[in-house]
A and B are shown apart, each in its own frame.
Chain A
Amino acid sequence: METIQNIYKVVSNEQLCPQYWRLVFDAPQIIKTVKPGQFVHIRTNEAGLEPFFRRPFSVYRAQKHVEIFYDVKGPGTKLLSLKAKGDTLDILGPLGTGFVMPLQTTKQVVMIAGGIGVAPMLILSDLLKTLKYELVLIYGGRTRAHVYPLKEFKDNGVKVHIATDDGSVGFKGRVSGLFDKIRIDPKTTFVYTCGPNPMMKAVQDFAGKNGLKGQAACEEIMACGLGACLGCSIETTKGFKTVCYDGPAFPLEEVKFH
């Protein structure tokens, strides 16, 4: 059996826009099995204990190499941003339960993402584009600095709608202002969402009101990433569930967003 913990080599690490970075590493073993919505758990300081926890990142793309999309928020992601081609990283993955596929009757797939929550949507669209769905991305960011070109989505044939809080790009306001782009038909529309909890709550309310099914990818601070410590539990209609093992992807209607 192949082990879950391995040392991988960095292929590239670049800043895509003022807010976001993309790290690419060579991990054929992860490519073989990873599913959209799964994540990798990276030890950002292999030599020391600060920061102490690993940092979890959704897999953004897994084609020739594995890619993650991140923003430099604290000491862990700061260290990650200093990694250069040829450096090595101690990575666990792929971990967690990814997205389920749309319904058999689905025609329109709507991905609704806020900020860094766009990360699992690219690998999802890589998979779904081969299956002839109408793909829509509704993407919200705070300002222009938070909106990168989204070229890969457009290359995948995804119709992209952007909302920014300050109106510097696209619609001015929340992503909920773009919900009119969603075809309200429970039979043929399926929703995937990932982003801040208030945004996912709005998506859940909208989907619930209109009978739409979907999936939500959640984020929590994690220790083990392996379902062992039970530290990243969230409340769901089925009790506490771990984001790292039972999720990150959950049926949209089951998550209790706070």
Chain B
Amino acid sequence: MQSVMPSINVIEVSSLSKVYNVGEKFIKAIDDVSFSVKEGMVFGLLGPNGAGKTTTIKVLTTLTRPDKGRCIIGGFDLQKEPMEVKRLIAVVPQENNLDRELTAYENLLIYGKLHGVKDLKEKIEDKLRMVALMDRKDTMVSQFSGGMQRRLLLARALLSEPAILFLDEPTIGLDPQIRRQLWDVIRKTRIDGRTVVLTTHYIEEAEALCDQVAILSQGSIVANDTPENLKKLAGEYVVDVIDDTGKLSQSFFSSRDDALRELNKVGIGAKMRTTNLEDAFVRLTGMRIE
């Protein structure tokens, strides 16, 4: 694995903004976003579609130039030293960008050569084994299922042994079994000492994988903390009440006693439980993730 400079924060983002001109409208994709990521952690950007997660990833992976702000990645200034940043990072994009007219092996071969990977043949085979695709190495990617393509994307990204791995909605559209297989690979990546930045709109994914979560809403970060602290921030206990029209209303409480009092007050139709990350998201953004 390539090493980054011995700094605690491997990513430092300050006042990042990006505005897109769509027709005659100006849309703020990200607006004054600041956060930092410590080395070796899994950092999640959680938010609904259009919150600015992908734009943030595109900026951090040199695909999009920001209008404002500064990003330091592995000690290198993204705008001034993009080539140094590119040597440290790898990306699994939201949209599959594998070459469909090439085999799995050829896809990794080209990527490995682009990144100057040594002992390429052995490493390709190692990564293909890791994602259980070794027996399909000479199959054209166009014949792969969606889950196999996502696994190959992950293998490709890990081929260059990046210090920082960016995953943009890594399990989108996958069935639960494949999703959990990919989660295992991501956890292994973290154990290997890599820093992982992932975007997701799956609450359970953020909860299962992330050490720290930044909640994005309409291009801005509304909260940034550990999943546990975010739940505490919302209130550790929640009372769900469903009225006669079927509408759900929620009340949050920091103590169990307060929540129990509310439960007894409302009576039938009310349920008390501990807060999850989705509740925290709803509380902090006023929105529900679809």
A binds B: no
